[in-house]
Amino acid sequence: MYKLDSDSISKYNYSLKVVNLLESLKVEEQYIQSITKEPESLIDIACKQYGQRLLTNISDELYHFFLELTRRTLELLIDENLNKYGSEMFEKIKERILSNNTLFKSFANTVEHSVKDKQL
């Protein structure tokens, strides 16, 4: 902090950026926790933090999107599809998921709301 050589100044400026980033993440985390209607969705993230606080809490909308994505994917991971597609099962499931307009619109809306929230 008190050295004036370029390396020390660079390290000091970098540490300030890190502190500012951590503060913004803390504010975002508190905001998500205050507006969530599903606090249990944040419990798993909190348990995995291990004091480092490096994981990001997600909005309820994104949580529901991933639940729906997981549900639809698991519905396709069945023995019948394994027998039908064999080693190409992953590609076939990926095609079905990516061509699902409902999921696509849900994801697009989630991203749009997230961007709007950050602009406010």
Lowest-pLDDT range of 2-6, 45-49, 112-116? 45-49
Query: What's the pTM?
Result: 0.52
Average pLDDT over residues 107-117: 79
Residue (of 79, 36, 81) closest to 58 by Cα position: 36
DSSP reduced 3-state for 37? coil
Mean pLDDT, residues 80-107 taken together: 90
Phi/psi-derived region of residue 89, left when phi > 0, alpha when psi is between -120 and 50, beta in every other case: alpha
Q: Which residues contact 36 (CB under 8 A, 6 or more apart)?
A: 42, 59, 60
- Position 119 pLDDT exceeds 70: no
Q: What is the mean pLDDT of residues 35-61?
A: 69
Across 103-110, average pLDDT:
88
pLDDT bin (cut points 50, 70, 90) of residue 45 is low
| Percentage above 70 pLDDT, the chain | 70
**Torsions phi, psi of 82, nearest 5?**
-65, -45
